Amino acid sequence: MRLLLTLAVLSFATGCGPADNATKLVTDHDGDGLEGAADCDDADATVGGPTTYYYDGDLDGHGAADGDGFCDHPAGYAEIGDDCDDTNAAVYPGAEDVCDGLDNDCDGDVDDGAVASTYYTDADGDGYGDDAAPVIACAPPEGAAVAGGDCNDLDPAYNPGAAEADCEDPNDYNCDGSVGYADADADGFAACEECDDATAAVNPDAAEVCNDADDDCDGLVDDADDSLDASTGSTWFADNDADGYGDPGATAQMCEPGPGWVADASDCDDTRSDLNPGATEACNGYDDDCDGLVDDADDSLDATTTSIWYADTDGDGYGDDTLTTLACDAPAGSSGIAGDCDDADAAYNPGAVEADCADPADYNCDGSTGYADADGDGYAACEECDDADAANNPAATELCDGADNDCDGTVDEADASGASTWYADADLDGYGDAGAATVACDAPSGAVADATDCDDSSSAVNPAVVETCNGIDDNCDGVVDEDTASDASTWYADTDGDGYGDAAASTDACSAPGGYVSVASDCDDGESAVNPAALESCNGIDDNCDGTVDEDGASDVRTWYADNDGDMYGAAGTSVEDCTQPAGYVADDQDCDDSAAGVNPAALELCDGLDNDCDTVVDEATAADAATWYTDADGDSYGNSASATVACDAPAGSVADATDCDDGDPAVNPAATEVCDGIDNDCDAQVDDDDGSLDLSTASTWYADADSDSYGNAASATVSCDAPAGAVSDAADCDDSDAAINPAAVEVCDGVDNDCALGADDGLPTSTWYDDDDADGWGGAAVVDCTQPAGTVDNDYDCDDTDASVIPGGHEDCAWDSCLGLLDDGIASSDGDYWIDFAGTPTETECDMTTDGGGWTLVFADDFTAGAYAGWSGTTTTSCGVWGTILGGYGVMAGGTLDVDATTFSISHTESWVTLDYIALDSWDGETAWVALDGTTVWSAALNNHSTAYSEVCGWNRGYYGSYDSKWPLDYTVSHTAASVNVLGGSTLDQGPTDESFGLDNVNVWIR
């Protein structure tokens, strides 16, 4: 990790006293041990220095290894630096390994945890592999295919995708296990080429027609075949409403109609199944039967759906029952309502009103009219209430007879002739109220014929009741409470009017006569102040007639209080009652301390802890020597001059000092220290920088921002509460002359530290380049930069960067690991000889860079021209004419084997590729020739050298009995990782080598 911390503080000082706002040298304001730019917030001791973050180019939460220090977490940086490829968001520790050739989880292994697939060795490169040679890998290796099923992986003509065009060819090219040719119908197409070899009209060249057959053998019949000759089909019509009738405007040519198609095209509305030529015309406003006629206009209209209409000649809304018409809609001059009894006169109809009961006309057509006078009293039945009794009619007089004589709807009403007067008896005492009379034929409920009750609200008052003293005329004799009342009282004369009478002067009455009372206990009826109810007073008289004069309970007896301290105020708890004042007693009882002459209601209150003036309050605010106190709401011992209280003692929350300038803040008072907060902390009317006593430790450090990019120069600092003009709080600008350079700038690849963090071009995605000092295109020492430096290349393959002749694979001093390495590293892609490291020995060998993707390293080659390689099991060679020298051959090999172990020289590989010629000589008669690689037979064939396709080359029989020599070039690739490749050739020959023999030639072993 690279961490650059720059700390510089420049202090200034102007003036010579506190009022000059002096600037102090401050290096660690918050005392956390970090100075200047090393502290992310030098005003907060809880905030430390920069945190290391790691550039996260692919934003996968894991950064590159080199970190940078920042006070805040910057965008595009991660908290951990463990990404092994910061250009790929799918690569980071913990990612899932997938088959993509990358170390996704950064564990150092590529595709180690991925789910691999099975591929098959494809020796002939036809895209199909040998099922017997599977390869498990993430991706198809070179020389392998995704699909298996190849029945001859040495010949690209054989594979499951091959076409067998010639049905007479005996080879199973498509590996399906069958071949064959037949054309039974002689249509020019083999049975394997068509679908019906019994019908000549059916073959791939035939035209598809409507006949329920697959004419063109494409697997589709009639309408299912897009190539159908539509002219052989029929025209069908869409039947969207499924009523069996089609839309003539929606047609299709088909062999057979599909769902929703019919042969009929006569539907007039294919959206409604109830409208079609088969429907019956009904009264509904639609052309139901599709004949172009609607409702009444259609002669085929179903009459049962019509309505009956009646002729309405007089237009009164009612028709003549005898003149009817059946129709959907009302004809002119008709009505749907019958019953008119005179259709020539609108006054006659069932809705007419018959108002005159004497009129003989039947206006409402109900078949009746009427006029009658059965009792002959001159009134029609419709004009009176009783047409059976001539005595009852509107002109008759009402009588008390239980009948409505005058036909007014009321029977025996009050004005009837012969009616009586009745009186209400509300209290039901048998006596009525003369003031509540009713005239009627019969006595109303609650009424009587007597009218002498003087109070009909009380049944206790009537002429039959006995008089009592109750203020009521009980017996209705016109006199209330007479002296003879059954309960009259005795009354006594009260001459002095004091409510008490003289027992010697009495009379009887319901109520007291004037000057009489009911009590006879007055002892002096000549003096109203003397009576049993009077209060005894101190006057020498028996005022209350109890026989005692001026007793202790006299009404004006006085209470006297002991005055022990002689201050003319007595104590309330030491009283006596007497008509005269005893010695040592006073009338006032308000002394609150009768032992101290200075304490009484007339004394002056003092701040002495006593209730001097006996007002029950001790040392109240009005005390002569009380002090003034000021509210101290913030508890800082300084009070608010605007909130004063006078009291002997300081009230809770009050003080004697009144110099607090903000009693809501305990940090503000004359004893406080002025700090940077925009407040006059010490109450001297000076705020922050204007106060010479300012505590500069509370101030901030400001830095000159010459380029106005909001970041200042750490070397130009000023300490104050507020930022001076052109100064900022951030001192992280590393070039205050260039506004484009500051911590907020984006680092770009220009050789300049744009973001003032960790040097130029830090955190940018970089690439590794390599010095090419000898200018041969191959690099040596690594150079990491965000752009490619001059004289560098993108590889480090040079083994000697001082010698341009030493190049990878092209010089023995720069032998490569393998031909595949040269190819994969982009060093070489052409076939040729290259220097390869054979187990520590630089060796120039052949590289095949084109076959099956290339990258093959030749590790063994033997054409036996100079004799057999010493590792062969048999080393005898023979000359084979134009075929050159071979191993084994005529007179040497018959039923034995020839093999060799070809070392791979510790070269890492996954495949081996072997090519050789198998030579079969003389009279082979079906014996088996075979070749095995590492113990597995890769080729075998039953040979018969009697074909003229073969030649006489180096055998003995030279065509005797038709025997020839055959040569079989073999080419096989198999999976391989071992230290050597075993090549083994043999046969099942059972004759001597001079009769029939075999040999091997041109054996080449490649690995990749």
Per residue in 572-587, pLDDT (tens digit) is 888 888 888 888 888 8
Indicate whether 13 pLDDT > 80. Answer: no
pLDDT at 81: 85
User: Is residue 877 over pLDDT 70?
Assistant: yes
- In angstroms, what CA-CA distances link 395 with 376, 383, 419, 632? 13, 11, 19, 109
CA triple 88-93-99, angle to 5 deg: 60
Laid out side by side, the sheet with 516-517 consists of 502-509, 489-493, 516-517
Of 948 and 313, the structure prediction assigns the larger pLDDT to 313
In a domain, 733, yes or no: no
Dihedral angle of Cα 384, 389, 394, 399, to the nearest 10 degrees: -140
Torsions phi, psi for 62 (to 5 deg):
-130, 125
Average pLDDT in the chain: 85
pLDDT at position 961 is 54
Contact 821, 815 (CB under 8 A): no
**Cβ contact 994:890 at 8 Å:** yes
From the CB of residue 108, how many other CB atoms can be counted at a distance below 10 Å? 8
Give the lowest-confidence range in 121-130, 358-367, 429-438, 745-754: 358-367
CA atoms within 13 A on the CB side of 452: 11
DSSP classification of residue 820? H
Q: How many CB atoms lie within 10 A of CB 614?
A: 18
pLDDT in tens, 51-98: 888 888 888 889 888 888 888 888 878 889 888 888 888 888 888 878
Distance CA 972, CA 129 (A): 12
176-229 residue pLDDT tens = 766 656 678 888 787 777 888 889 889 989 898 999 999 999 999 888 889 889
The answer to the question of residue 882 being in a domain is yes
Segment holding 915, helix H or strand E? strand 911-922
Quick: pLDDT tens for 620-643: 888 888 888 999 999 999 999 899
Chain-centre distance for alpha carbon 231: 60
Higher pLDDT, 372 or 316: 316
Distance CA 626, CA 645 (A): 10
Distance, in Å, from the CA atom of 689 to the CA atom of 680, rounded to the nearest integer, reads 10
pLDDT digits over 492-542, tens only?
888 988 888 888 888 888 888 888 888 888 888 888 888 888 888 888 888
822 phi and psi angles, rounded to 5 deg = -60, -40
Say how many domains are in the chain: 1
In a domain, 997, yes or no: yes
End-to-end CA distance of the chain: 42
pLDDT confidence of residue 934: 95
Is 871 a domain residue?
A: yes
pLDDT at 355: 66
Q: How many Cα neighbours within 13 Å face the side chain of 474?
A: 15
Is 959 contained in some domain?
yes
Beta strands in 786-863 (DSSP E): 792-793, 832-838, 841-848, 856-862
Q: Band of the pLDDT at 9, cuts 50, 70, 90?
A: very low
pLDDT of 5 strictly over 90 = no
Q: What is the dihedral sign for C-alpha 307, 313, 316, 321?
A: negative
What is the b/e burial string over 315-354, where b = at least 16 CB atoms within 10 angstroms of the residue's CB? ebebbbeebeeebbeeeeebbeebbbbbbeebebbbebee
H/E segment holding residue 821: helix 819-824
Element (H, E) at 327: strand 320-327
Q: Please name which of 899, 912, 901 lies closest in space to residue 818, comparing C-alpha atoms.
A: 912
What confidence tens digit (pLDDT) does each residue in 464-503 have?
A: 888 889 889 888 888 888 888 888 888 888 898 888 888 8
Residue 960 has pLDDT above 60, yes or no: no
What is d(CA 372, CA 346) in angstroms, rounded to the nearest whole number? 28
Task: Give the per-residue pLDDT at 26.
Answer: 35
The answer to the question of residue 477 being in a domain is no
Pair of tokens at residue 747:
């680092």
pLDDT of residue 19: 34
Give the pair of three-digit tokens for residue 574.
Answer: 């030491």
Please report, rounded to a whole number, the percentage of residues in the chain having pLDDT higher than 70.
93
10 pLDDT more than 80: no
Query: If we measure between CA atoms, which residue out of 944, 928, 933, 1002 comes closest to residue 974?
Result: 933
Q: Which two tokens stand for residue 201?
A: 């009209």
Per-residue pLDDT, 17: 33
> Is-contact 349 340, C-beta < 8 A?
yes
Strand boundaries in 536-612, DSSP class E? 558-562, 575-578, 585-586
Q: What integer is the mean pLDDT of 319-334?
A: 90
Return the ∠ at Cα 19 (arms to 15 and 25), rounded to 5°: 60
> What is the predicted pLDDT for the residue at 713?
92
Q: Which of 313-322, 849-858, 932-941, 979-988 has the lowest mean pLDDT?
A: 313-322
Q: What is the pLDDT of residues 123-181, one digit of tens each?
A: 888 889 888 878 777 777 888 888 888 888 888 888 888 877 666 565 777 887 666 56
Mean pLDDT across 379-391: 80
Q: Is the pLDDT of residue 552 over 60?
A: yes
In this predicted structure, what is the pLDDT of residue 830?
96
Residue 837 has a pLDDT of 96
Mean pLDDT over 266-276 rounds to: 90
100, 78 Cβ separation under 8 angstroms: no
User: Does residue 905 fall inside a structural domain?
Assistant: yes
Higher pLDDT residue, 7 or 300?
A: 300
Q: What is the pLDDT of residue 165?
A: 65
| Residues 346-370 pLDDT 10s | 888 888 876 666 666 778 887 776 5
Which has the minimum average pLDDT: 159-168, 570-579, 645-654, 952-961? 952-961
Range of the domain at 1000: 855-1007
Other beta carbons within 10 angstroms of residue 21's beta carbon come to: 20
* pLDDT average, residue stretch 883-911: 94
- Residue 444 has phi, psi (to 5 degrees) of -65, 160
Q: What is the DSSP code (8-state) at residue 911?
A: E
Q: Give the three-class secondary structure for 827.
A: coil
Read off the pLDDT of each residue in 422-449 and give the average, rounded to a whole number.
87
Taking only the tens place, the pLDDT of each residue in 667-724 is: 899 999 999 999 999 999 999 889 889 899 989 999 999 999 999 998 898 889 998 9
Average pLDDT over every residue of 438-466: 87
Predicted local confidence at residue 901, as pLDDT: 96
Whether 863 is covered by a domain: the verdict is: yes
Nearest partner of 792 among 819, 774, 807, 814, judged by Cα? 774
d(C-alpha 439, C-alpha 462), whole Å: 23
Q: What is the pLDDT of residue 4?
A: 27
Phi, psi of 603 (to 5 degrees): -75, 160
Q: Is the pLDDT of residue 102 over 60?
A: yes
CA distance 466 to 481: 11
What CATH code is carried by the domain that includes residue 965?
Answer: 2.60.120
Residue 183 confidence (pLDDT): 72
Q: DSSP states of 517-540 as a string?
A: ES----S-TT-TT-STTSPP-SSS
CA-CA distance, 452 to 434, in Å (whole number)?
7
Which of 716, 721, 691 is CA-nearest to residue 704?
Answer: 716
* Cα 941 from chain centre: 72
pLDDT (mean) for 297-305: 89
pLDDT the model gives residue 884: 92
Greatest CA separation for the chain:
201
Q: Which of 644-648, 725-729, 843-847 has the highest mean pLDDT?
A: 843-847
Residue 76's identity, in one-letter code, is G
| Residue 171 CB coordination number (10 Å) | 14
